[in-house]
Amino acid sequence: MAAQTRALVAARWLADAVKSNRVGPNLRILDASWYLPKLKRNPRAEFEKTHIPGASFFDIDECCDKNSKFDHMLPTKGEFADYVGNLGIGNNTHVVVYDASDFGSFAAPRVWWMFRVFGHNSVSVLDGGFKNWLKEGHAVTEQYSKPERAEFKASFDKSWVKIYEDVLNNIKTNAFQVVDARANGRFRGVEPEPRENIEPGHIPGSINMPFPSFLDSTSGLERPVEELKKLFQQAGVDMQKPFWVTCGSGVTACHIALAAHLCGHPGVCLYDGAWAEWFIKAAPEHVISEGKGKQP
């Protein structure tokens, strides 16, 4: 399999590419770090201090639908094309995405998924992220030179994106499995949501697979495919049947999509509004919780 079609690339491979000056119009590196506000981390400021040589910063709160009241909803294909074109990415560019999360990756799979939904398959997540990059002792820099703008033409696979009404209808039909990447306490309704005025709980019939379970807790590396398959099996997800993914705001859900892709199931659909939208719009009986749930 050609390097540019792999969903994951190793730090050593990327370090060799950096050393041999392959970063340019054919290979772009993106730091897609993003954190929940409670962590009080400023990803752009961290990027300016230290990043992988040749990387540019991808801001999911900038490359989004600015008219939506929900966080970082998908932009239009034109907005996406303009944003990534400004980062020097064309249709023939291999894009490698990472973030600096303590987990190994947090937001990078979201950007990987965004490229794919906008028709660009030549995109990879850096396995283990910046955490593993540092652990392996690869070069970092504070220097940044803005890439020359490139022309990017985007398409949009609408079938990959689910809206509130799709998920509501699925409660009646049970045509699709819905898998939620949030922490188990939030899913069950016993630990708080990070967003104000949103109570924890889950969509009726959904399955919980907290995103850190896909990663090795020490290295941050993705677990081997056989382990990933076992995780899906243990959670009760039938990988022969289609499923949709969700989380708090559409970011960590993409870890499930990436894991499924690695297991040979590409094209997993995302409920982009996720729990933040569901809690606001859903009837109280559609908020399943061991806590206080949603009051009528």
Q: Could you give the residue numbers annotated as active site? A: 247
For 233, how many CA atoms within 13 A lie in the half-sphere containing its CB? 7
Distance CA 208, CA 245 (A): 10
Q: Which residue has the tokens 């009080």?
A: 40
Residues 6+ apart with CB under 8 A from 134: 140
